[in-house]
Structure 1
Amino acid sequence: MDKFLVRGALKLTPEKRKHQPEEEDADCTNKKNETEEKRPTLPVAILDEPRRMHANPWREIRAEGLNCSYTILFGKAKADGLFQELEKDVEYFKGELTKLQVFGKWHNIPRRQVTYGDSGLTYTYSGVTFSPKPWIPVLERIRDQVQLATSHTFNFVLINRYKDGHDHMGEHRDDERELAPRSPIASVSFGARRDFVFRHGASRGRRALCRIEPVRLQLEHGSLLMMNFPTNRYWYHSLPSRKKVLAPRINLTFRNVMAA
């Protein structure tokens, strides 16, 4: 557990968990009569919770407006095999699809990227519209295992490959209009363990409206992180550079995308 979450997290019993803030409390800009000195800081809560059709316990991660679940979905031997299949079979985008738009300027993506999914779907973010490639067997097997473990269905996957700790992803929210309302995003990781950071939108920048501590996770080889509603409404997430990480990592984020 210490390698998974930052220090200072609280473990809650099911009875205490019901007292965690609901969605309407998540936007601290709506709170009244709060001075600079008395802005709230909410700790992170974790609850181990076994689920049907899945052997490992889930760790439920809660903060103000953040609702995530984490588990090890694939044991090491299985994860090793899937990683090798992904390295062999996944074909990443080239050319213009390797760029993104930030504040009106185009930049090379600091990682390799591709999308797979059902035919007829499109997905637009950072100024680029992606049409997914057809599913391949290794992705179908991973998707089916995720669906079995979560009871959610997914028709699209975004794959990011980080060659080492220099490759990274900046702060953003997965709140594109093509996503089905209130649908979760399932993030599966293979390869090197990497830090994953959530930051509340109202806590960003020098003129932050709240003081809500970032949530830092370490995503393990074979792990599954579920980003449930309303996480992407309030929280940004990133994968920071870590120069000491020398091994590659592949991340698959399964989504439910609406047809145009």
Structure 2
Amino acid sequence: MDRFLQKPAPGVLLGKTGKQKPTRVEAGEDGGMAEKRPRREPPGDTSHQAGLSWRQIRGEGLNCDYTILFGKAEADKIFRELEQDVEYFTGLTLSPKPWLPVLERIRDRVSDVTGQTFNFVLVNRYKDGCDHIGEHRDDERELAPRTPIASVSFGACRDFFFRHKASRGKPGGRLGDTVRLQLAHGSLLMMNHPTNTHWYHSLPVRKKVLAPRVNLTFRKILPKK
């Protein structure tokens, strides 16, 4: 997975990941489980989300909502912008960068349909299905407590797994402790509280996937003291 950085530089943090890991950029303003059938009722404030078909994913401590946020033509255009407006790099250094206009537009659309505000984005690029991320939780101390994380995907459709923390490292695990989604081009996945407390998530290797994918995770970060 490559990291990428906006070309015209200054809020985004860059850094290198290991081999076959995604490239990433961070931008900030201030430096049992059952998958329910799709429904027309969006989470939270319905005044923000008219016309979207939401799928609710619920379980023991699992609270997520999924929808196609961008139509194909608009998603294609955004994907081209993300590919054209960044340069790929390697290295371990971190360097702050400002928001790109395309990132601001995506953030504003997510805020419009969810009623949530975000001041930080992490951008990962997966060059193909060999790029992947292992099981982890987005539980950094800088995250504002109980706030959702919005994950927006462009490019190749990839499998995405949730695994309950109680089943990690145990063969088989409990029935229903793993949930699989397919994150489509132009999709939005809202990971609501307390999902990151109880569930790990991952993007596994899929060698048959030859096309790239770009993922943006919007967060609300507490200001540094």
Look up the SS of the partner of 1:95 in the other structure.
coil
Look up the SS of the partner of 1:181 in the other structure.
coil
Is the Cα contact below 8 Å between 2:151 and 2:190 reproduced in 1?
yes
Is the Cα contact below 8 Å between 1:47 and 1:61 reproduced in 2?
no
Look up the SS of the partner of 1:96 in the other structure.
coil
Task: Decide which structure has the larger Cα Rg and report it.
Answer: 1
- Aligned residue type for 1:252: L
Look up the SS of the partner of 1:85 in the other structure.
helix
Look up the SS of the partner of 2:53 in the other structure.
strand
Partner of 1:65: 61
Match of 1:45 among 36, 53, 57: 36
Partner of 1:177: 141
Match of 2:71 among 70, 75, 99: 75
Deviation at 1:89, TM superposition (A): 1.0
Q: Which runs of 5+ in 2 are unaligned?
A: 1-31
Q: Would you say 1:215 and 2:162 are equivalent positions?
A: no
Match of 1:197 among 142, 156, 161: 161
Q: Which runs of 5+ in 1 are unaligned?
A: 1-40, 98-129
| In 2, Cα distance between equivalents of 1:223 and 1:217 | 11
Is the Cα contact below 8 Å between 1:132 and 1:156 reproduced in 2?
no
| In 2, Cα distance between equivalents of 1:62 and 1:93 | 38
Q: Would you say 1:151 and 2:115 are equivalent positions?
A: yes
Is the Cα contact below 8 Å between 2:33 and 2:178 reproduced in 1?
no
Relative to the length of structure 1, the TM-score reads: 0.68
- Aligned residue type for 1:168: H
Q: Would you say 1:136 and 2:131 are equivalent positions?
A: no
Relative to the length of structure 2, the TM-score reads: 0.78
| In 2, Cα distance between equivalents of 1:93 and 1:254 | 22
Q: How many residues are matched?
A: 188
Deviation at 1:43, TM superposition (A): 3.4
| In 2, Cα distance between equivalents of 1:46 and 1:191 | 24
Deviations 1:6-31 (A, max 9, x none): xxxxxxxxxxxxxxxxxxxxxxxxxx
| In 2, Cα distance between equivalents of 1:61 and 1:235 | 12
Deviation at 1:258, TM superposition (A): 0.7
- Aligned residue type for 1:243: K
Say if 1:172 and 1:165 are closer, same or farther in 2 by CA, change over 3 A: same
Look up the SS of the partner of 1:57 in the other structure.
coil
| In 1, Cα distance between equivalents of 2:170 and 2:100 | 45
Deviation at 1:59, TM superposition (A): 1.1
Q: Would you say 1:166 and 2:166 are equivalent positions?
A: no
| In 2, Cα distance between equivalents of 1:206 and 1:257 | 33
Deviations 1:113-149 (A, max 9, x none): xxxxxxxxxxxxxxxxx56410111111111001101
Partner of 2:201: 237
% identical aligned pairs: 68
